[in-house]
């Protein structure tokens, strides 16, 4: 089975492609929101992230990580790298 690949509309730019696991991790890190728009690669239909994942919408909240400032910086670095890939 092929892993679905998505593009994300973030801060007025289309970023990606990303696997859903990465997008869910960014959602949990607070970098994306449930209403962040995503589209399945190969389609032109944008939809809220909450329609393709249950992370953050139906799951109970996770306890804050022990080193949340460090995790936020790591998520910021990952997102910056993704943004720099934009052509």
Per-residue pLDDT averaged across 21-41, rounded? 92
Q: Indicate if the pLDDT at residue 41 is higher than 60.
A: yes
CB 49 within 8 A of CB 16: no
Q: Indicate if the pLDDT at residue 11 is higher than 50.
A: yes
Note if the pTM is more than 0.75.
no
5-84 CATH fold: Dna Ligase; domain 1 (3.30.1490)
The confidence score (pLDDT) of residue 59 equals 45
Sequence ranges of the domains in the chain? 5-84
CB 13 within 8 A of CB 86: yes
End-to-end alpha carbon distance in the chain = 29
- In tens, the pLDDT along 44-87 reads 999 999 999 866 554 445 555 555 555 566 777 777 777 776 54
């Amino acid at each position: 089975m092929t892993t679905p690949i998505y593009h994300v509309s973030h801060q007025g730019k289309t970023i990606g492609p990303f696997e859903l696991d990465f997008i869910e991790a960014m959602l949990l890190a607070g970098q994306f929101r449930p209403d962040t728009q995503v589209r399945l690669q190969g389609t032109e239909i944008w939809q809220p992230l909450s329609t393709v994942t249950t992370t953050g919408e139906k799951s109970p909240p996770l306890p804050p990580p022990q080193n949340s400032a460090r995790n936020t910086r790591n998520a910021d670095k990952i997102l910056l790298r993704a943004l720099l890939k934009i052509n």
